[in-house]
Structure formats: structure tokens, C-alpha cells
Chains A and B, each alone.
Chain A
Amino acid sequence: MVNLQDLKKEVQKILKEGKIKYFIGYEKREDEPFAKPSFIKKPEDVEKLTWNPTCVHNLARFLVFEKRRKASEKEPDERPVGIMVKGCDSRAINVLIQEKFINREDVYIIGVSCENTGVIDEKKLSKKLKNKQAQKIDFGEKDNFVVTTNDGKMKVPSKEILADNCLECKTNYPVVYDVFLGEKIERKPEDPFESIKKIESLSPKEKYNFWKEQIDKCIRCYACRSVCPMCYCDECVVDSIELSVTAETTADEKAKKIIWTEKSPVSSENFTYHLVRAIHMAGRCVDCGECERVCPVDIPIRLLNKKLEKEVVELFDYEAGFDSDRPPLLSSFKEKDPQEFIR
């Protein structure tokens, strides 16, 4: 079991030593038993840190904001940022390093193992509890969670409330770290692509109808894009203005920007956005599940990315985020890569 005190001690140590600028971890929300991202600058604040099954967020996203903030500072602090990651999150950091978006020296990684379980899906939990309110959710023995409500503690088998991506997890412990907490217990699912089997078995027309119904719900809030660590482009396909525009950008350059998708939340534009994003994530998505979790209208976005993940494994024998030295998939070519699609 991951010892929370060990985590707090380690973070306090590196903050006191001035080794890191600040630490990105999890703390409990004021009003609820769920976790939220926490930014610790002072050593005494480490008491706020927590580690429990509600720590779903992929904190690697905040490395993107850190990079932007550093770029806008005149005399930036060159020390690394401390960050706490789970298995999937650590792979996201590897992808950022692999794409040379950040350097390995920019992060001081405390890796945390999910051991026999993972993180929970809030919606599955409330369905399980029905009308009861959860007061606390903890890791239990073996592969159980312990949920405390008004009526006391209850043991919940993890399979019932684990997040969907945890059920297909490829790495339940971090693959890159400076400090490792917990035990390296391997927990690999039987079929890592179970969730897309049902849709794969549909006919093309049925597939289209399924996705149309889902994607018509989209309100283009772009939360899926905003939460993904790999969506760091300043010149995103869906924006009508590029965030990288400066005073030196010429009017012609601005005028030539192609509007790939309109702002209207209609089927055609929604499809374009989601499908383009899925293709841009091929070979980069680590299935942290955040995009699906944050969607306010419950679109199963993860499934699109999962399908492409499967294609990438089958065609190129490649999985994202395990090896930061390896060149990114879509910018490298091997002679034995399949070429049937070139006619």
C-alpha cells in the first residue's frame, strides 16, 4: 500500500531543499470527499496532500501550463516542477518528453502505484450507493475499495466502480519516475480492448448511427481538449484565431488561416472536431480516461481514441509513452511498416 506519510515526507524534503519550484499533487476538496489538483509551494502545506481512489486527474496537463508560464517570464526559474503521477499519467509525461515539448530535467516525478486497483468513476459510485452520500473512499485490502457513508464502512469490489480505463489498464504503475511509492504489482486485464468490441461488431451504418447520436450531444465546450496533456498546440485546428499570433505576424498570414471547422455545434462540425482530434491522438493517447470523465454530456470519447490505439498496436506494434527515447510514431518510418494502404 502506498504510504501517504512517505509521500508527504518526500515532498516536504524536496521543497525544503529548494530542489523544485512547487509540487503538483492532489488534495481533498473543501466540500466533498473527492480529490482535486493541488499546488504546494511551502513545505508546511504538504499536510494537504492526499492519495486515494478519487485521484483521477491526469496532472501532466499542468506541465503544459507551466511551460507556457515559463515562456512568458523574463527571468524564469529553471528548477524542475515536482509532480505526482499514476501509471497512465507517467506515460503522458513520457510522450511530452518524446515529442520534445518538455525536457526530462523539467520534472521531478514521484510515481505512485495503483497496485491491485486504480481510480474510481464517480458516476458508477453514486449508482452503487443509490441515495447514500459517500464521506470517504479509501483503498482496501487486495482489490477492494472501502467506502464510508452515514451508515458506516462498506467494502466494494473494485471491478464495480473502477473507471473504465482502469479496467483496460496497460500500466498500473509508473514507467518513469525519480521516486517510486507503493509496490510494483502487475495487474493486466485479459483483453485491453474489451470496451470497443461491441461497437466493432456493428455494421458501418449502425456504427454511424451510434456515433451520430452521441456526437450530436456535443456542445463544443472543448473540455476534452483542455484536459488532455497531449493537446498542447497553440495552433489548434478548431480555433479561428491562433494563440501563437504576435505583433510580428503579418496580416496575410492571419488572413490565410483556414477555418477547418465552424463554431456551430452541428453534426458535421462536431464530427470533424472529434474525428480529427482522435487522429491527432493516434499513437499519443495513453488512455488516462480524462476526456470522457470531463465531458458534461457523457459522450464516450475514450472509445474513439481506444480504437485508434488498437490500430496502432496492430499495424505498427507501438504503444505510446513507454519509451521516451523512441521517436514518435507518426514522425518515424521503418521499412517493415505495412504499406497496403498505399495503392
Chain B
Amino acid sequence: MSQNPYMPKLAKIIQIKVEVSGERPIKTFRTQFMNKNEFSFRSGQAAMVSVFGKGESMFSISSSPLTKDYLQFSILKMGRVTSSLHEMEKGDIMGIRGPYGNGFPLEEWKGKNLIFIGGGIGLAPIWSVLQTALGKKEDYKDLTLFYGARSSNDLIFKKELEELKDKIKVSLSIDVEEPEWDEFVGFVPQNVTDKKPSPENTIAITCGPPIMIKFVIKALKELEFNDDQIYTTVENKMKCGIGKCGRCNIGSHYVCKDGPVYTWAELKKLPQEY
């Protein structure tokens, strides 16, 4: 077995689901490695997905490590590689290498309340850690999910969210009013401020567009969360995934290796350059 970190393993697409259609389409891909191999990962880690002939892109793994049958990615069509992925069909072959990054430290959160705050495609990395926590529900106290998007069409995992409402507290929001929407209308940070979650024995995990993260952290600070109670993932352009090519560095950190999961306490210390 070659120890070449740049060599991807081939994987087949076994299922494609359209989450969001329209101008900013999002699809969820379930993939299986063509040759059986051990691919263990922690929630919050990501993998480099190759579309041969186009390039590679880093995506968070949105399935839980407890799921062994497939690896799931939710991908927003943004540029060259993602457009190519969106044109792929069931049975097409891609390359996967990884897992990269530090992942969420679930073991440190045992016995605490967990609040997940996601926006748009940011629900994908959260989904992995949420499902893992659900799978070991006895280890944690209350689980809550705040999730929002521009419109009801832009929400991902629509069906799964409905099923989730039976298990944990779920609070959805959309930016602008719609005729049949009876939940919160406004931005995700506003929803958080509205519902006033308590910081007592709680960890907050947030993922989404950089501007949303900025205001969510502000909202959480106003609710008296400490800097080390707030976790987030940082997105940066990545190429090698192993902390060598220098593209994703923020200060002395390589986001692909030392991150992408950071507490606000850690992130504050890095140069504000992302």
C-alpha cells in the first residue's frame, strides 16, 4: 500500500439527491470506495474529492463516522469542480483522499448540552457531528438545532429535518417571509437571539457563510457564552490538504491540518485574514 498522501482512492457514486434546485443548486452525494478499505474519520473532518480532468476540492463529510456503508458529501455548485460533480450520475467514479483536519472534539463535550447553529450549506459539516451525538444520545444532555437559509427552497436535508423534529428541538428560519412558513423569519443569528439558549453547561457549534458566523458569535457573546464554549469551522481555499502547499494558512496555522475546527478563543488569536 503506497504511502503517497497525494494519491486518491477511487469511489463510485451510489446515490444522488437534489437538495436545492435553481440558481444555487445543492446535491447530496453518497459514495462507496471501489476497493474495500478502512476509511475511518471523525465528524468535522473533510476529504479531498477529485474529479479527474478538472481538479480537486475539499468537502466536509456530512455522514456520521458511525455510518460505515457510505461517505456522504453535500455539495453546492460554485465553480469548475463542483459544476462537474453536479453533472455526474449514479455509478460515476470520483477520487477521494483523506480524512483531513482536526474534527470536532466530541469526547470533551460529554455531559453537556449541545447547540448546533447552521446556515445554508453549513448544515453539512454539522450534520455529521449531530448524527454522531444522536447515535450516542446517552452521553450528552439536550441537543438543539438552529438552522436557516435564504428561502425554504434553499434548506438542505428537508426530509431529514422533519424526521429530526421528533427527536430533538429544531428551530428553522428563512430570511424573507413566505406564504406557508410558520417558523421564524429572519437571519439565523436573529433566531438565536430570539430563542435565548442558556450558556450553562452548553457548547455551541456553528457553521455557515462567514458573515453569518460573525453575527452568530456576536449573538452568543451577548447571551454570555464564553469564547471557549463556541466552536466553528473555517473555510479556506485548499489544495494539498496536508499542510504543505501553503494556500490555506492563517498565521502559523494550516487550516487543513490544525483546523478547520476552532473555538472562538483560538480563532481570535489568529490574524483576521479569512
Contact = CB atoms under 8 A, between A and B. Distances in A.
Contacts of A254: 78-80, 83
Nearest to A241: B79
B23 interface: yes
B245 to A, nearest CB: 13
A252 interface: yes
Interface string B78-105: 1110111000000000000000000000
A252 B77 CA distance: 9
A255 B84 CA distance: 8
A308 B88 CA distance: 46
A254 B55 CA distance: 14
A64 B12 CA distance: 48
Nearest to B25: A251
B86 to A, nearest CB: 8
A3 interface: no
Nearest to B78: A251
B23 A255 contact: no
Interface in B41-100: 77-80, 82-84
A167 B228 CA distance: 68
A86 B82 CA distance: 49
A255 B83 CA distance: 6
Contacts of B84: 255
Interface in A244-262: 250-252, 254-255, 257
Contacts of A255: 79-80, 83-84
A249 to B, nearest CB: 9
Interface size class of B (residues with CB under 8 A): under 10
A245 to B, nearest CB: 9
Contacts of B77: 251
A254 B84 CA distance: 11
- Counting chain A CB atoms within 10 Å of each CB, the highest count among B23, B79, B82, B84 belongs to B79
A263 to B, nearest CB: 12
Interface in A277-336: none
B23 A250 contact: yes
Contacts of A250: 23
B212 to A, nearest CB: 14
A257 B79 CA distance: 10
Nearest to A250: B23
Interface string A118-151: 0000000000000000000000000000000000
A262 to B, nearest CB: 12
B57 to A, nearest CB: 12
Interface in B6-26: 23
B7 to A, nearest CB: 20
B235 to A, nearest CB: 15
A250 B25 CA distance: 11
B80 A252 contact: no
Nearest to B54: A255
A34 B82 CA distance: 50
Contacts of B79: 251, 254-255
B55 to A, nearest CB: 9
B244 to A, nearest CB: 17
Contacts of B80: 254-255, 257
Nearest to A240: B80
Contacts of A257: 80
Contacts of B23: 250
- Counting chain B CB atoms within 10 Å of each CB, the highest count among A254, A255, A257 belongs to A255
A176 B80 CA distance: 45
A251 B81 CA distance: 10
A254 to B, nearest CB: 4
Nearest to A249: B79
A86 to B, nearest CB: 39
A252 B79 CA distance: 7
Nearest to B80: A255
B246 to A, nearest CB: 16
B249 to A, nearest CB: 19
A285 B82 CA distance: 39
Contacts of B78: 251, 254
A252 B84 CA distance: 10
B43 to A, nearest CB: 27
A254 B83 CA distance: 9
Contacts of B83: 251-252, 254-255
Given A254-B78, A254-B80, 13 more contacts: A250-B23, A251-B77, A251-B78, A251-B79, A251-B83, A252-B83, A254-B79, A254-B83, A255-B79, A255-B80, A255-B83, A255-B84, A257-B80
Query: What 5 A-B pairs are tightest by C-beta distance, nearest first?
Result: A255-B83, A254-B79, A251-B77, A255-B80, A251-B83
12 contacts: A250-B23, A251-B77, A251-B78, A251-B82, A251-B83, A252-B83, A254-B79, A254-B80, A254-B83, A255-B79, A255-B80, A255-B84
